[in-house]
Structure 1
Amino acid sequence: MKDSLIVVSGGMDSITLLYEYADRIALAVSFDYGANHNHKEIPFARIHCERLKIKHIVIPLAFMKEYFRSSLLDGSDSVPEGHYADENMKSTVVPFRNGIMLSIACGIAESNGLKQVLIANHGGDHAIYPDCRSEFIQAMDKAMRSGTYENIGIFAPYTDISKTEIASRGKKLNLNYAETWSCYKGGEKHCGKCGTCVERKEALRDAGIEDQTEYED
């Protein structure tokens, strides 16, 4: 039964979740919040939804770029390079991004008679993104259930697993990760140096997947 909505960015994690639970997903939602890489990610989300015959909509959140502070919203030169665990990666936090997106997704889900919202946050995000941690997901799930007549909940099966484990699931699904986007700089090719690029390389390597991503380096 297709009773779910998925928040899908076009990155490795959300595309894996899209395929893994495609039989339950009635609607996919992407958010264009003015990030450097939105124009690269969202077309991949659209491609995969079309293949799976899942309705895909894009919600514009232009106000976030105007009023929020984050290197993801300030141009590619503002995005730090290095590993996700590095202190400078905190500049990539978009304040309460998942809270805003989940709230909107919850309203859309209830408006469409759906029962749950899927999101692909994972264990590797916990170090720097507060709204990806299990405590936040549990609290948001409770708030959504309390605030809807239909008891809309969150399904976040990747919360406590690594990106490598997600890639391993994608490998079993025969996903082509070259048809996803990770780089926070949003150039013509993946930069290969920012936190998401480094994490992408490590996950594909450790999952035993040939990395066919085009990198600048």
Structure 2
Amino acid sequence: MTPRTVVAASGGLDSTVLAYDLARIGHELVLLSFDYGQRHRRELHAARRLAYRLSADHRVVDLGALRSLLSGSALTDSEIAVPTGEYSTETLRATVVPARNAIFLSVAIGAAVSCEAQNVAFAAHSGDHRVYPDCRPEFVRAVQELARTSTAGFGDVGVMAPYVTWSKHQIVEHGHRLGVPFEATWSCYQGLEWHCGDCSTCRERRTAFATAGIPDPTEYMETVGG
């Protein structure tokens, strides 16, 4: 039987590599993206285009009402500036959305039961461990137990996080081998016409390509005359 997997798909680099990875080994994919009142919709548009490339079902979950409940993050509060410059623990604290992955994965687990999927997958990686508690191995173990107990006898859904011990550049290397269209993914927190190149996630993206020794196809503002 072909396994069916719900992928938490942001339209970013990591979740896109994960989707291509699972498609390669024969999973039928349902890509689940979340509109939670974030600063922009560029990532949602990217996820939709990538789902089309993969011939995968794509659904956007409207969680916009959460914006007022999840304030205090640069990703949900327009009054808080997106951090730029050096990629550090202190600058990244401003981008933490409280328990975001816990919320998303709870929804994804329910969706998996409804669409008769056997798995939920998300692309947490080791570069996020120091700042984001819901990207760490202990969180993965906890959400796996949540899925097991909450779907016992009603789908028995498992949770996969195959990159949780990987670095960002390892994901880039793996995606390169898979032929992932990196230029179609979106990472930038600013949501401008092109990647700003200076926010923390743009810097992380650039560093990952440089460390992997793979040409970065991303259009950054300074490279397109912005």
Question: What TM-score, normalized to structure 1?
Answer: 0.95
CA distance in 1, matches of 2:39, 2:103: 18
Q: 1:143 aligns with which of 143, 146, 150?
A: 146
Structure-1 residue corresponding to 2:6: 5
Shift of 1:76: 8.4
Question: Structure 1 residues 10, 76: closer, same or farther in 2, change over 3 A?
Answer: farther
AA matched with 1:215: Y
Shift of 1:215: 1.4
Shift of 1:201: 0.2
Q: 2:74 aligns with which of 71, 85, 93?
A: 71
Unaligned runs of 5+ in 1: none
Structure-2 residue corresponding to 1:130: 133
Shift of 1:170: 0.7
CA distance in 1, matches of 2:59, 2:86: 32
Q: Paired residues, what number? A: 216
Aligned CA RMSD, in angstroms, stands at: 1.4
Structure-1 residue corresponding to 2:174: 169
**Does the aligned pair in 1 maintain the 2:19–2:29 contact within 8 Å?**
no
Structure-2 residue corresponding to 1:215: 220
Structure-1 residue corresponding to 2:37: 34
Shift of 1:8: 0.5
Matched residue of 1:10: which SS?
coil
AA matched with 2:217: Q
Structure-1 residue corresponding to 2:157: 152
CA distance in 2, matches of 1:47, 1:108: 21
Structure-1 residue corresponding to 2:88: 85
CA distance in 1, matches of 2:79, 2:9: 22
Q: 1:181 aligns with which of 165, 182, 186?
A: 186
**Does the aligned pair in 1 maintain the 2:32–2:60 contact within 8 Å?**
yes
Percent identity over the alignment is 42
AA matched with 2:4: D
Matched residue of 2:214: which SS?
coil
Cα-to-partner distance string for 1:99-126 (whole Å, 9 max, x where unaligned): 0000000000001111110101110011
Detail structure 1 runs of 4+ shifted over 3 Å in the superposition. Answer: none
Question: What TM-score, normalized to structure 2?
Answer: 0.91
**Does the aligned pair in 2 maintain the 1:76–1:186 contact within 8 Å?**
no
